[in-house]
Structure 1
Amino acid sequence: MGKGFYISKPLAFVLLALAVGSLLTILGLSLIYAQEKRRNEENMVNNTVTTLAPYSTSIPSNEPWDKYRLPDTLLPEYYNITLWPRLTKDDLGMYIFTGKSGVAFLCVKETDLILIHSSNLNYSLTAEKHHAELMGLGGTRAPVILKTWFQDQTEFMVIQLRENLQVGKSYWLYTEFQGELADDLGGFYRSEYVENGVEKVVATTQMQPTAARTAFPCFDEPSMKAVFHLTLIHPPGTVALANGMETGTENITIENQQVLQTRFEPTEKMSTYLLAFVISEFPSIQSPLGANKILVRIWGRREAIENGEGDYALNVTFPVLKYLESYYNTTYPLSKSDQIALPDFSAGAMENWGLVTYRETFLFYEPKVSSHEDKEGVITVISHELAHMWFGNLVTMRWWNDLWLNEGFASYVSYLAADYAEPTWNIKELMVLQQVYRAFTVDALVSSHPLSSREDAVNTPQQIEELFDAVTYSKGAAVLRMLSEFLSESVFAKGLHNYLQEHAYSNTVYTDLWKKLQEVADSDGNVHLPASIEEIMNRWILQAGFPVVTIDTHTGSISQQHFLIDPEAVVNKPSDYNYEWFVPITWMKNGRNMGQHWLLNKSTSYELMKTETNWILANLNVTGYYRVNYDSQNWERLIKQLTSDHQAIPVLNRGQIIDDAFTLARAKILNITMALRTTQYLSNEKEYIPWESAIRNLEYFFLMFDRTEVRGPLEAYLRRKVEPLFHYFKVITSNWTRKPTRHMDQYNQLNAITMACKTRVKACSELTSMWYRQWMKDPNVNPVPSDLKTVVYCNAIAAGGVEEWDFGWAMFKNSTVAAEAEKLMYGLSCTKEPWLLNRYLHYAIDPNLIRKQDVTYPIVYIASNVIGQPLAWDFFRAKWQLMTTEFRVLILGIVKTFSTEFQLQQLQRFQEEVAESGVSLGTHAIEQAIEQTKANVKWVSENKVQVMDWLIQQSA
């Protein structure tokens, strides 16, 4: 799912704190895809009841229908699908859709059984009272159907035949069915919004990873590629869209109703999870057809489109497509690229081929209201999704165990494409903050997992959905970036082109990519590797975690070890590579680039790194996926350099020094005071990346010490560091009346105000309250700068009472711009009034007040509020069974501040409660939460006194 894990910066602020106390960026941890609702109910077929196989947690039989994977006996060739969603309620108060579907398939191995995925569909009885009708193609005789039934647990329609199908022959399976157009954000579902006081309904889709089977019967696995012929029936006044270009719409009468029928070009050969169709009243804007004849259209709510919110997306889509065509050296294979913003969408966006679906916040940008961060979110998400048009759609992983190859690659390439579209932003630098450090956070836990697992280790829909995490997206991006760096971008891109050309419209495993890259590397005289690409990269993708490289400048020795945030954690997952990596070490000495050195063993000696006077810095621009530690004297020399002339060290590495030091200190590899000393120079630092790195790490201190006596000295120390930055931005913005011109400065201005208010700089609280009061006086004129709304809303509502909160709530409910609503949603969680927080928690689970797609936001936001944290935890424990699809994000977000034995015991009791309930979900997430809480408990006990003493010394 193309950045299916995008979330807002406010939510990201909360989530990453659970591991590093950090503020995730716009491409942060992704939201977990909405799981389809499974209803174990009677299947009504022409008033005849067909009993479904009951759900069972027992070990399944060895029958094919009790296995989650399709047998390798049949291959789909093409589908003919007609769907008719009703956008009004029926007599039972339900929204339904009806459909007819036929699939042509080839028999490749002898079998008397047809298994095809089907879930939550009611079937009409067809020939001889079976749920499906089978015919032979090309003169082939079809066997008689003996019986059909549904295997609910494995989601199969099972068709038993009297005799075997003939190998090499094709058949046609036809079904008619009915399903619910529910509001569960999965499969074929409905989204609702209000326009001019009238409720509107959109019928839309989200098939990834395993929900196509809820819309029509299909061979719902990524390797079962086929061509889809689609017809949609829809009400007058609506427009139908699908992957292919519409070929014509006609008026017809069905069941005494006047409706429209739209047909579409057949799709390219593709996987079921990429199928998409939308029926709505949305208008569009489009770019003129260029020489390449690609039609680009942006669709969305009429008010948003007419307000110009889709203009930026339209302006950047075509340049991104052209860049990607050039980068891949492969022509975009479709005639159009539709992009549509949906009022209700579970993920950030989805890369459906030719019809990309988005949350409104990731496609719409309104300059007068949206922030610069919102604008960056639009370009990076669009770039991510369009990168998938080739890598993921044209060539697809064979099975979900290699999902990282799709998502990691799109995450990496999105920065290249966005940098092309916005060349003045230096956006590629942000990849370190947004992807590499995010991956480090979760990959330093024992509960992490390898990028690629065995194919037979991923079977159930739940196991598939668990793969959509930060390891898959961010670590995948980080290791591919590292690979591109040591091969060179030109070699990497050429290898990708060859890979895409050879495997177009088919499926691959990751070794297919290694082979193509190796061929290009071998033919390029400038690539010198210590081993094959497969030998190097398999160590990074087939074992969890990453190394910390330690350099001793006294002896010149270099060593590596598996880095774990909890040094006492026991790794009980064996690795064929013994948790060792082939590490490409780029480095500099006293500011001079010294090139690259490979670390191929546990330890080695390198004479050039031996020094007693010069500072050594490794992992230049953090291109390698590893952390770096040094002997204490070299740490001292680096800190001295930062203090005397920090600009001698590259800006990305200034952030790296801070982030590595604090993380190593948490793992008890480095003294905590050494880490704190890397922040002493910050009163002279004006760049965003070092400041962001410091804030992320120091946020962990706030989370751990919020209720202790350490909070006061911590505030005082950081106030002295941030006041120069606050005043710097006050000057260059002419007393906050204009935006900084540089992209990174716009972000660092937000950091300056956020930290100034957090550390009680009086001028900051006065500034934010003043802006908010002005807005309250005239709600039609919002004086708050768009880039600063998050911090202003939060601090003003925190400083106020019920009047400020109610005003914020009214503005939230009246907002027609999704980005504005999101910022207000966060600000409302900052109040200090417990009763308002409790009211807000209950609002969160009322779909009439907060959209279902946003239910996690207020709850996790409130958990970041020192007053709201226990309220959110109690609320979640009481209501968790109502929020199963959001369980993972909620548990990780809510317990991020847990740091006492009592809180750990509460979490462990909750784990037992979930296990006893029989609900199979969230196991991995609770394990992560417990592991993190244990680490928090130990960290506080070991560091509290030392941190307190050091902070007091700084104020002396």
Structure 2
Amino acid sequence: MGAKGFFISKAVGVVGIVLGAGAVATIIALSVVYSQEKAKTDAPVAPTDGTGTTLPTVPTPAPSNEPWDKYRLPESLVPETYTVTLHPRLIPDPITKLYIFTGTSHVVFKCVKETQLILIHSNKLNYTKALNGFLATLTTEGGGAPAPAIKSSGLVEKTQYLVLQLSDSLVKDQKYKLSTTFTGELADDLGGFYRSEYLENGVKKIVATTQMQPTDARKAFPCFDEPAMKAIFHITLVHAHGTRALSNGMETGTTDQTIDGMSVQVTTFEPTKKMSTYLLAFIVSDFGFIQTTLEGVLIRIFARKAAIDANQGEYALSVTGPILKFFENYYNATYPLPKSDQIALPDFNAGAMENWGLITYRETALLYDAKYSSNSNKERIASIISHELAHMWFGNLVTLRWWNDLWLNEGFASYVEYLGADHAEPSWGVKDLTVLSDIHRVFAVDALASSHPLSSKAEDIQRPEQISELFDAISYSKGAAVLRMLSGFLTEDLFKKGLSTYLNKFAYGNTVYTDLWDHLQMAVDESGKPLPGRVHDIMNTWVLQMGFPVITIDTATGLVTQKHFLLDPESNVEASPYNYEWIVPITWMKTNINQPSIWLTKKSDTRVEMKVISGQWVLANLDTVGYYRVNYDMANWESLLNALTSNHQDIPKINRAQLIDDAFNLARAKEISTILALRTTQYLTKETEYMPWESALDNLDFFYLMFDRSEVLGPMQAYLLKQVTPLFDHFRILTVDWTIIPPGHMDQYNQVNAIGKACSTGLPQCQTLVQGWFTSWMDNPAVNPIEPNLRSTVYCSAIAAGGAKEWDFAWDQFLKASIATEAEKLRAALACTKEPWLLNRYLEYTLNPSLIRKQDATSTIVYIASNVVGQPLAWDFIRDRWSYIFNQYGGGSFSFSNLINGVTERFSSKFELQQLEQFKKDNEAVGFGSGTLAVEQAIERTKANMMWISENKQQVLKWFVDNTLP
């Protein structure tokens, strides 16, 4: 207890410095610093004074190879502890009108290699000069010779460093303490220490909150901001009366103090575990909370008071404990912290962030209201909580050394989130959904020549925007898919055993991905399980080369072969260390009988005794556990199509979804005919399961994108109307004329598909139904008669069929919505209108954060672009305002690649290709940030679309006409 008491008094003693007069002087300078974000340039920048003092203009120095020109820290200093005190102001400064925070930091580091230079990350912070005249002071810690004097200090904007040059060398193995006092802007930029705003009873409320991952802790205080630079953090927050402070550690006490004539509260926290800077969090708000305790762990859910009062945190509270316990058991490792706080923020760029002990969420990812939220909202909450809790061990306790291995961290959490959610909600069957949500989704990206391997070389990932670009579908979804395949062929028990020894060995440390392979290999060796090679050898073929194979099975000869699957087989791909050959685990069945699994280790060296007699079929990749596509000889395709038509239940439902998805994509890659792919949808008049329907609709979406501006659209709509009408009738009967909710989780999803597709293809009973519901809501806005599961599709259908009156009503409801999931449904549906003037008005609203929150701007533009009427408007809009959008909404934001993809996905003409190439050229100076790769992928995709249309349009048109005839 004594040590803790000492720490509190020491930390509180520091607070006085935070608000010293020197810091206040820099506030004025901030208005200049932050009034306009400087354009990023690649010219080398000399260190500058960071105190707000105006410096004489100096010519840009010639490129140099100084340590501060490099993006990675030198390996000379290792941090051990930080003592950080921060005071965010939740009311704007009367002079500058800026929201700011002030702070002090003391970092104790060890010198492991003699050096006369201290580099520590710092971005957008203004420093108060210390008594020595420099931006920091340096002292020796724990005895030893006095620290060398600081010779010069300055800031480098490009590489985001505070640079201190010393009069003499630091001594190896000696510890030192670096102390700074600084001011920063509490901006609304959703990164670092930032502010979130919301209205409560008409009053504007401010939250000071954080998002450090990947490289923004340096915007909150100077720090060694790399994942391997783990340290212990002592955090103190100064905040106004009536607010509450939260951080990673448990609060140890709050005292009232008067600082510079201001009465404030000072909250201290237990020191954190040894951890990375990107996992830090600190929040000041006047939120409400609910709590429970499970086996000694305090679990709390924080949100706006109105949301807590409306019991919107109850569902999250009910599943957090069981999921936490599931992962303790899964990892065979106790949860290492005394508490698990989760907080829903009105403004948040990602879905959620796994800060250790204080997880931050978008409101839609944490808050649930049975009156307003659909079952997909509920599932999203369970799976995102599961994803973030999985990181508490895998990522937080054991952290990858550098961002080039991000895929393992995010891919792993994306795989096991289904296991945790399945434990919390066993009746849902969510484990199957990884096939639709991850595997099918990422196949589309990974089949492009512009894809990339899971693991990058560390030296290729240096700059913050290169790091941000890794947060993509490959890292998350392909990572999840290959780890699921690995767990599948090892068995889950062996997978868990290797995981457990890996986590125990590297707790509080850092690893590279091959360390996990070592531990899985140890588990395999102990079990004696036969594999065709070491775990390294098998998995590196999936990790170190991009793409995936298509496995072709010839049932006549028994020959099984593989080749790199590309949507455009003519495209040039970069060389691969494995020559695009994979070690493939193949599971298969033959007409209702599971066969022993086999391994394919070369391009074509495997023969299997098939003995397929006429009418029998072979099906590979059971339950789509393998990350590959499958093609067959024509006779087997015909047998599979016959099986679908005659008795589709003979084929497992996941594999029915897989057959459809494989067929459509094999057709796009010219492996089979487009007509064969379309034939996989003929049996759907008998299908009532969600997964095959969802797979078919996802794949037919491509046909809509290619043809919804051409004469193919009419016959295609007529065909789909014919296919979906029995499904619509099935749900009408199942729900007793739409009066009850279908019992099954997946049935509820498929009911949405039935109504959505029946209405959009023009089924009169469907359109009358949804317009009736919507009109009765407009007549009595206080009572919404539309069942939450159906709201997204009903709102969209009614707004598409209506005009300004319907749109304005929905907009008014959006502005009034106090529940984030309801606002989200309305925001998406508003993009469904067919009126160009309404869509243009809506696009303008995305630039006004008081109408559309910054976190939602890019996705709203994408919603508008997904409407055939809105697509050209959205494209003109982002071209016209690219520089503004880029600077306002952050080239580093993860949503930027989604914006480029969303606005260009319909592109399929020579003219659109020229526009896209011109857009790339026109904006080279501005840049594309984390959307850089997406621009290349859009160009590649447009060329492929042009070719596909020229080759397929006529035969597709004829097929739809022929198959709609009575």
Query: Is it true that 1:510 corresponds to 2:513 in the alignment?
Result: yes
- In structure 1, the residue corresponding to 2:335 is in which secondary structure? coil
Corresponding residue of 1:247: 252
Gap change, CA 1:640 and 1:130, over 3 Å in 2? same
Alignment-derived partner of residue 750 in structure 1: 752
For the pair 1:149 / 2:146, whether they are aligned, the reply is no
Q: What letter corresponds to residue 497 of structure 2 in structure 1?
A: K
- Name the CA shift for 1:609/1:184 in 2 (closer, same or farther; >3 Å): same
Partner of residue 130 from structure 1, selected from 123, 128, 134: 134
Give the structure 1 partner of residue 466 of structure 2. Answer: 463
Corresponding letter in the other structure for 1:800: G
The 5 Å alignment of 1:59-458 reads 60-90=63-93, 91-140=95-144, 141-287=146-292, 289-290=293-294, 292-458=295-461
TM-score calculated relative to the size of structure 2: 0.93
Residue identity opposite 2:147 in structure 1: A
Deviations 1:56-96 (A, max 9, x none): 9x9x5321111100011110000000000000010210000
SS in 1 for 2:104: strand
Q: Secondary structure at 2:924's aligned position in 1?
A: helix
**How do 1:576-587 and structure 2 match up within 5 A?**
576-587=577-588
Asked whether the equivalents of residues 39 and 120 of structure 1 are also in contact (C-alpha less than 8 Å), the reply is no
1:43–1:122 contact (8 Å) kept in structure 2: no
Separation in structure 2 between the aligned mates of residue 269 and residue 397 of structure 1, nearest angstrom: 14
1:934 and 2:943 are equivalent in the alignment: yes
Shift of 1:951: 1.3
Shift of 1:862: 1.1
The match for 2:680 among 655, 659, 678 is 678
Q: Distance in 2 between matches of 1:690 and 1:922?
A: 32
Q: 1:905 to 1:55 in 2, by over 3 A?
A: farther
Per-residue deviation at 1:608? 1.7
1:349-392 per-residue CA deviation (whole Å, 9 max, x = no partner) reads 00000000000000000000010000000000000000000000
* Paired amino acid for 1:899: S
Mapped partners of 2:454, 2:344: distance in 1? 31
Pairwise CA distance, 1:920: 5.7
For 1:640, what is the secondary structure of its paired residue?
helix
Cα offsets for 1:697-754 (capped at 9, x unmatched): 0111111110111111111111111100000001111111111000100000000011
Residues in 1 aligned to 2:544 and 2:54: alpha-carbon distance in whole angstroms: 48
SS where residue 608 of structure 1 aligns? coil
How far apart are 1:39 and its partner, in Å? 6.8
Query: Which residue identity does 1:750 align to in structure 2?
Result: V
Whole-Å separation in 1 of the counterparts to 2:421 and 2:773: 33
Q: Give, as a single letter, the amino acid of the residue that structure 1 aligns with 2:278.
A: Y
1:605 positional shift: 3.5
Shift of 1:225: 0.2
Give distance in 2, aligned partners of 1:505 and 1:529.
32
| Contact 1:52 1:151 survives alignment (8 Å) | no
**Superposed CA offset, 1:325-350 (max 9, x none):** 00000000000000000000000000
The AA in structure 1 aligned to 2:693 is W
1:889 paired residue number: 898
Residue 716 of structure 1: aligned partner: 718
- 1:61 match: secondary structure: coil
Where 1:564 maps in the other structure, the secondary structure is coil
Deviations 1:405-430 (A, max 9, x none): 10000001100000000000011000
State whether residues 586 and 597 of structure 2, in contact with CA within 8 Å, keep that contact through their aligned partners in structure 1. yes
Which among 930, 953, 959 is matched to residue 944 of structure 1?
953
Provide the C-alpha distance between the structure 1 equivalents of 2:732 and 2:60, rounded to a whole number of angstroms.
62
- Aligned CA RMSD, in angstroms, stands at 1.6
Partner Cα distance (2:703, 2:678) in 1: 11
State the distance in 2 between where 1:198 and 1:523 align: 63
Which of residues 903, 916, 921 is equivalent to 2:912?
A: 903
Q: Deviations over 1:734-790 (max 9, x none)?
A: 111111000100000000011101111111111110000000000000001100111
- The one-character-per-residue Cα deviations of 1:217-256 (angstroms, maximum 9, x if unpaired) are 0000000000000000000000000000000001001111
Moved more, 386-395 or 708-717: 708-717
Cα 1:327–1:46 shift into 2, 3 Å: closer
Aligned residues: 915
Q: CA deviation at 1:591?
A: 1.2
Q: Equivalents in 2 of 1:540, 1:920: separation in Å?
A: 27
Residues 554, 612 of structure 1: 8 Å contact kept: no
SS of the residue 1:316 aligns to: helix
- What is the rounded CA distance, in whole Å, between the counterparts of 1:581 and 1:610 in structure 2? 26
Contact 1:859 1:890 in 2 (8 A): yes
| Unaligned ranges ≥5, structure 1 | 1-35
Question: After the TM superposition, which parts of structure 1 deviate over 6 Å for at least 4 consecutive aligned residues?
Answer: 39-44, 51-56
Letter matched to residue 590 of structure 1: T
Change (3 A) 1:926 1:875: same
Shift of the alpha carbon at 1:627?
A: 0.3
1:561 corresponds in structure 2 to 563
Once the two structures are TM-superposed, the CA of residue 949 in structure 1 deviates from its matched residue by: 1.2
Aligned to 2:33: none
SS at match of 2:194: strand
Q: Report the AA paired with residue 634 of structure 1.
A: N
Structure 1 residues 920, 404: closer, same or farther in 2, change over 3 A?
Answer: closer
Aligned partner of 2:32 in structure 1 is none
Contact map agreement 1:555 1:610 (CA 8 A) in 2: no
Distance 1:617 1:761 in 2: 36
Code of the residue aligned with 2:587 in structure 1: it is T
CA distance in 1, matches of 2:101, 2:55: 20
d(CA) in 2 for partners of 1:448 and 1:417? 30
Q: CA deviation at 1:152?
A: 1.2
Equivalent in the alignment of 2:794:
792
Contact map agreement 2:50 2:154 (CA 8 A) in 1: no
Q: Which runs of 5+ in 2 are unaligned?
A: 1-35
Separation in 2, partners of 1:759, 1:214: 51
The 5 A counterparts of 1:27-66 are 48-49=53-54, 60-66=63-69
C-alpha contact 2:50 2:125 (8 A) present in aligned 1: no
> How far, CA to CA, are the matches of 2:54 and 2:690 in structure 1?
64
Distance 1:159 1:182 in 2: 27
Does the CA-based 8 Å contact 1:880-1:887 persist in structure 2?
A: no
Structure 2 SS opposite 1:446: coil
Q: Tell me whether 604-613 or 276-285 shows the greater mean CA deviation.
A: 604-613
Paired residue for 1:694, among 675, 693, 696? Answer: 696
Counterpart Cα distance in 1 of 2:902 and 2:951: 24
Partner of 1:575: 576
Aligned mates of 2:240, 2:196 — CA distance in 1: 16
Say which of 626, 629, 632 aligns to 2:628.
626
* Contact 2:48–2:155 (8 Å) recurs in 1: no
The answer for the alignment partner of 2:4 in structure 1 is: none
For the 8 Å contact 1:43–1:49, the answer to whether it is kept is: no
Match of 1:485 in 2: 488
Q: d(CA) in 2 for partners of 1:417 and 1:600?
A: 33
Partner of 1:729: 731
What is the alpha-carbon distance in structure 2 between the residues aligned to residue 43 and residue 743 of structure 1? 59
Q: Shift in Å at residue 55 of structure 1?
A: 8.9
Quote the residue 2:846 is aligned against.
844
Kept in 2, the 8 Å contact 1:458–1:464? The answer is yes
Query: SS of the residue aligned with 1:567?
Result: coil
Q: C-alpha deviations, 1:440-492, integer Å up to 9, x for none? A: 11111111111101111100001000000000000000000000000000000
Q: Which amino acid aligns with 2:577?
A: D
